Amino acid sequence: MQARSIGDVRVGAIGLGGMPMSIEGRPDEERSVATIHAALDAGVTLIDTADAYHLTAIDVGHNETLIARAVAGYGGDTSEVLIATKGGHLRPGDGSWTQNGSPEYLKRACDASLKRLGVEAIGLYQFHRPDPTVPYADSVGAIRDLLDAGKIRYAGISNANPEQIRLANEILGGRLVSVQNQFSPAFRSSEPELELCAELGIAFLPWSPLGGISNAGRLGSRFAAFQQVAQDHGVSPQQVCLAWMLAKAPVVIPIPGSSRPETIRDSVASAELELSADEFSRLDAA
């Protein structure tokens, strides 16, 4: 698989999003582990998780623990696998999502993630979502402190606007390596953030790039241009979607969520799909 950069690390151009393996509707652990192993077999070296990917208040960090166990149990070389996790977004256990961006909480959350992942330093740690009750600079300052302390190797942010991206990069002393925002054919409002990341050379990691768990299977029926290009190439509309994102800028690294080996294999194949200039223009205008 072609490689792209997060900081000075090269990773496969398609990552794996772990959330579907741990929230509502999650599969049994055997299938989840098979999915992670299939991703590694296919050349995926970026796996994205978060401490908030769980069901109840008593299984916080379920996805982190699952991924750590699956990677540790993989028979091949995992030395180049970058596990990215996030802190600052919480699930109390009633299905809702809340935020806590206080520096004290983020530092505790990072320590807990370190233990679940079983590492001395987290590969990529991302501030999950801005907390309206805490100054953004204070939250990012905690991420800077974690970076300076060596508890994380690289620092990123998620669900950020252009102003927050610039501020975070300033607070981190130019060490912001990634921005993870929602982006898909149905959700194009993160175009300014993508363009800014391309300008600054910061990796842009689209989450829910296929439209989310409930919509991914209907991508072709919702967007005719993607269905038509897929038919022309004899591939899935989902492959076309990810290839379109990769063609938008060399900093884009989609992280489609998956809980089945066959879906992550299909996603990875998009890295080899070449779109013509006309096809890209048609998709980009869809």
Considering only the C-alpha atoms of the chain, give the largest distance between any 2 of them, rounded to a whole number of Å. 53
* 45, 11 contact by CB (below 8 A): yes
CA dihedral 215, 220, 224, 225 (to 10 degrees): 110
Q: Residue 19, SS3?
A: helix
Could you say which of 53, 105, 125, 136 is catalytic?
Answer: 53
Q: Residue 82, SS3?
A: strand
The Cα–Cα gap between 137 and 273 comes to: 40
The Cα–Cα gap between 164 and 181 comes to: 12
Of residues 221, 200, 281, the one with CA closest to residue 247:
281
Cβ-based burial of 246 (10 A; exposed 0-12, middle 13-18, buried ≥19): buried
Supply φ then ψ for residue 170, to 5 degrees.
-65, -50
To the query of whether residue 136 is one of the catalytic residues in this protein, the response is no
The Cα–Cα gap between 209 and 213 comes to: 10
Q: What angle do CA 25, 28, 32 make, to 5 degrees?
A: 95
Q: Residue 48, SS3?
A: strand
Of residues 281, 167, 208, 216, the one with CA closest to residue 48:
208
Element (H, E) at 12: strand 9-12
Q: What amino acid positions are annotated as catalytic residues?
A: 53
